[in-house]
Structure 1
Amino acid sequence: MNTKHLKARILDLALQGKLVENSRIPNDVKSRIPTDFNPPFEIPNSWAWVKLGDLGEYKKGPFGSSLTKSIFVPKSANSIKVYEQKNAIQKNFELGDYFITKEYFLEKMQGFIVKPNDIIISCAGTIGEVYRIPKEAPQGIINQALMRVRLNDLTIFEWFIVAFNFVITANSHQAKGTAIKNIPPFYILKSLYIPLPPKDEQERIVKKIDELFSQIDILDKHKESLLKNIKHTKTRILYLALQGKLVENSKIPNDVKSRIPSDFNPHFEIPNSWAWVKLGDICEISSGGTPSRNEAEFWENGTIPWLKIADIKDDYVNSSSEFITQKGLENSSAKIFKKGTLLFTIFATLGEVAILNIDASTNQAIVGLTPKKDNYITKFIFFALKNIKNSVNLIGRGATQKNINQTILKNLYIPLPPLDEQERIVKKIDELFEILEVIENSL
């Protein structure tokens, strides 16, 4: 669930008069719509299209060298507060450390005064953040990153906030600036139209928006917790699967003879029909390599996918960010792993595992694992490797960057059920993970 888009949709409906029942009392504001104005959508008959310039007085903060650090003074009983962008963004009049003398204010800054019930709007960088100066706030001035709005009718304040954000977003293509977008110039801003409902409907719409937004905020607040629970559930599913507790156990014992040394202590029990096996006994394991970066012919116009740890982001690898040439392959320890090969990271970021969906080479931080026989299912080994990620990290060596070598990896044990049970376990995990991912994607 994209809560940001959901809120935007609610505002769209509100501004079109589709969120609450329309008022039966027509708006007493007479709109003067020029012939060249094409409303972006229809509004109820009781509403009116009005210019922003007709709703109040607008004033941007001083530009140029009017407000520089050289004229700022410490806060005192005789100083005047300079309101900043963060006051608007964080909705807090107490923030800020800039003040000017009363003398400088009286001489040059009276035109930029801001007082209780005035509205300040951030108009550079983060644009369109609206804040109404509360009654307890001190009188001050706006700086160059703010605009002051003094409404003719304070009772439309809540609706003004809703409509102003809409009109700024809708007309953001007219904002000036390259790296930083700004509020449109005054002559454009004042000529922009907003829909205006009767006052009783304004109140009902704002109340409904607040109710819906508060519910969405609750969902947003718990979203992170839900995502953590989903991740924990996936881990738990793998843990149960690898103990033989996810599906009915096979009645046909595993034909793999496990050779478990006396110093191996399994972390959990497995069914009698299963076996503990070393990865090196059931998989061919080899690592990749990196062609010399000093040789352009090993890299330029390369067509062979070459994978780094950063390319292993999902369960399946479908592409690479870099490519090497045939010469690069032949003049390095890099090798091509076939589609279906298991990939496992052994350096720095340990224990990331994925299945290749393409033929590709890798660097030396990634090993490829290929089952030696047909009675080992790659996807089952994939899940088994996911399950031992924490164990791999615990045995990883190195001070700043942990790593393991192929010998350590080949001697790692995983539980292995009979082939038919491997198939049923993989199918059940896929089914459960698919359900969890649907829930995850809906949040």
Structure 2
Amino acid sequence: MPFEVPSSWVWCELGSVNEIARGGSPRPIKDYLTDATNGINWIKIGDTKKDGKYIDSVKEKIIPEGVKKSRMVHKGDFLLTNSMSFGRPYILNVDGCIHDGWLVISPLGKVYTSDFLYYLLSSSFAFEQFTNVASGGVVTNLNSDKVASTKFPLPPYEEQKRIVLEIEHWFALIDIIEHSKVNLQANIKFAKTKVLDLAIHGKLVPQDPTDEPASELLKRINPKAEITSDNGHYQKLPEGWVITPMQTLCALVDGEKQNGIERINLDVKYLRGEREAKVLTSGKYTAANTLLILVDGENSGEVFRAPVDGYQGSTFKQLSIHEEMYTDYVLQVINLHRKTLRENKVGSAIPHLNKKLFKAINVPIPPYEEQKRIVNAINKTFTILDKIAVNL
């Protein structure tokens, strides 16, 4: 026997306590389909629900004459998928006919409880047995006689009921855990946004009074810039911080056009690792480590870093950040506004980055050294949150 069972259990062939048969398909099926009230339910794989246990309704019916060329099944019978993703059980809540993509398992008396047999047939042990007896080349099929010969453990009837209660108790707990997992993933995503929000309000790391004020940094970036340390959106910023529009700190540019040199096409799919490199002989030159911002498509505002020298993809602009700013700090500010940028794209046929909105983003600027401390704190926090997400 496959494994040891309690002394009160026995092993039995599935066919010794169930009648097992294959469905049949009247052909051509279109000649047998009907909308008449006396039509017979025509049960198909498409009538099942994902992760469902029961088949409660059908979408099509066949004429009564089709029954003799098919197989009639009844409420309480089990259907087992017979090809492609074979071995998946369902309990019938309707009467009807089945095609040859199904096996029907009709219990003979009260040997197995319905719920216990369902969980038994859904087990990995059952799937392993069905796989071992399946036949076919391109399409794998289950033979009714071979399925009938598979062996399964049979506990006492009342113990089966107790086992089902225990299974469903644990399944309910697992569902709660899975639901909590989804909620936790959403909370992790929210936590990252909150961390970024705290960062640009000066609440993530302590200030150092010895740092050079950001106003001096801004003067070097743009001597004509208006020094603003507060506004309606960012009230009560720390002393030494200033605010300026994004357009003061960075620009969206194209690379220099080049011809006759083979370079990699830096498009979205390549940068996301979704396909191998495609080589072009001309385009807008982009040096390795250049920042590229997506300006066309649903994810406009997403930033990539060119891994190699290449040609700038047509959906990108180069993101040039002023050298007086700590690059990763500016990138985190952009990251915080990604949702707003996605929701406010312009253009109908192809959505584009709203460049006017992007340039107008108010960027709170801390002293340069504090920018580095902020990015370091963000990275450490995100690493912890990512570890939690991976291990859910």
Partner-residue secondary structure (3-state), 1:344 = strand
1:82 to partner: Cα distance: 3.2
Residues 283 and 93 from structure 1, CA distance in 2 versus in 1: closer, same or farther, beyond 3 angstroms?
Answer: closer
Q: Any idea what the Cα deviations from partners look like across 1:314-353, whole Å, max 9, x if unmatched?
A: xxxx79742426xx2xx32222233xx4332222331102
Quote the residue 2:222 is aligned against. none
SS at match of 1:154: coil
Q: How does 1:203-222 map to 2 (within 5 A)?
A: 203-222=161-180
1:158 aligns with 2:115: yes
Q: Which residue of 2 aligns with 1:83?
A: 43
Match of 2:18 in 1: 56
Tell me, in whole angstroms, the C-alpha distance in 1 between the residues paired with 2:233 and 2:14.
70
- CA-CA distance at 1:312 after TM superposition: 5.0
Report sequence identity in percent: 24
Instruction: Give the match for residue 149 of structure 1.
Output: 105
* Distance of aligned partners of 1:125 and 1:277 in 2 relative to their CA distance in 1, 3 Å threshold: same
Equivalent position amino acid for 1:287 in 2: D
- 2:350 matched to 1:350? no
In 2, distance between residues paired with 1:117 and 1:402?
53
> Which residue does the alignment assign to 2:277?
322
Amino acid at match of 2:207: N
Provide the rounded CA distance (Å) in 2 between the counterparts of 1:260 and 1:400: 38
1:434 equivalent in structure 2: 383
Query: Pick from 93, 96, 108: which aligns with 2:59?
Result: 96
Q: Deviations over 1:218-251 (max 9, x none)?
A: 3334544443332222222212211212222332
Partner SS, residue 286 of structure 2:
coil
**Cα distance in structure 2, aligned partners of 1:217 and 1:438:** 22
1:267 aligns with 2:233: yes
> d(CA) in 2 for partners of 1:154 and 1:243?
69
Q: Deviations over 1:33-60 (max 9, x none)?
A: 6xxxxx3x55445544432222311111
Aligned-partner Cα distance in 2 for 1:275–1:175: 71
Q: Out of 269, 278, 287, which is 1:336 matched to?
A: 287
Give the alignment of 1:23-422 within 5 angstroms: 39=2, 41-44=3-6, 46-63=8-25, 65=27, 68-76=29-37, 78-87=38-47, 89=49, 91-101=54-64, 105=67, 108-109=68-69, 112-134=71-93, 137=94, 139-156=95-112, 157-166=114-123, 167-170=125-128, 171-172=130-131, 175-176=134-135, 181-182=140-141, 184-251=142-209, 252=211, 253-254=213-214, 255-258=216-219, 259-260=225-226, 267-269=233-235, 270-277=237-244, 279=246, 282=249, 286-288=253-255, 304-311=263-270, 313=272, 321-324=276-279, 328=281, 331-338=282-289, 341-348=290-297, 349-356=299-306, 361-369=311-319, 371-373=321-323, 376-393=325-342, 396-404=345-353, 413-422=362-371
**2:63 aligned counterpart, secondary structure:** strand
Q: 2 CA distance for matches of 1:396 and 1:96?
A: 42
Q: In 1, Cα distance between the equivalents of 2:10 and 2:310?
A: 63
1:391 is displaced (CA, Å) by 4.8
SS at match of 2:203: coil
How far apart, in 2, do the equivalents of 1:97 and 1:155 lie?
33
Structure 2 CA distance for aligned equivalents of residues 362 and 432 of structure 1 = 33
Secondary structure of the 1:322 match is coil
Query: Equivalent residue for 1:14?
Result: none
Query: Which SS does the other structure have where 2:243 is aligned?
Result: strand
Deviation sequence 1:74-103 (CA, Å, 0-9, x none): 343x544333334555523332330322x6
In structure 2, the gaps of 5 or more residues are 220-224
Letter of the 1:70 partner, please give it.
D
Paired residue secondary structure (2:60): coil
Inter-partner Cα distance in structure 2 for 1:401 and 1:245: 39
Cα pair 2:205 2:373 within 8 Å, conserved:
yes
RMSD of equivalent CA atoms: 3.7
Size of the aligned set, in residue pairs, is 375
SS at match of 2:153: strand
Corresponding residue SS for 2:238: coil
Query: Is the contact between residue 285 and residue 309 of structure 2 (CA under 8 Å) also seen in structure 1?
Result: no
Distance 2:256 2:19 in 1: 68
The whole-number CA distance in structure 1 between the counterparts of 2:344 and 2:97 is 61
The 1:356–1:198 alpha-carbon spacing in structure 2 relative to 1, beyond 3 Å, is farther
Is contact 2:204–2:374 with CA below 8 Å preserved after alignment?
A: yes
TM-score using structure 2 length: 0.78
CA contact (8 A) 1:287 1:367 kept: yes
> Cα offset for 1:172?
3.0
Q: Is the 8 A contact 2:295 2:316 kept in 1?
A: yes
Distance 2:81 2:101 in 1: 6
Q: In 1, Cα distance between the equivalents of 2:119 and 2:371?
A: 57
Give the partner amino acid of 1:72: L
Code of the aligned partner of 2:117 = F
Which amino acid in structure 2 is aligned with residue 214 of structure 1?
Answer: A
The unaligned stretches of length 5 or more in structure 1 are 1-32, 34-38
Q: 2:23 corresponds to which letter in structure 1? A: G
For the residues of structure 1 that align with 2:8 and 2:360, how far apart are their CA atoms? 78
Residues 389 and 74 of structure 1: is their aligned pair in 2 closer, same or farther, counting only changes over 3 Å?
Answer: closer
Conserved? CA contact 1:125–1:180, under 8 Å: yes
Per the alignment, in what secondary structure is the counterpart of residue 58 of structure 2?
coil
Query: For the residues of structure 2 that align with 1:392 and 1:416, how far apart are their CA atoms?
Result: 20
Structure 2 counterpart of 1:434, one-letter code: T
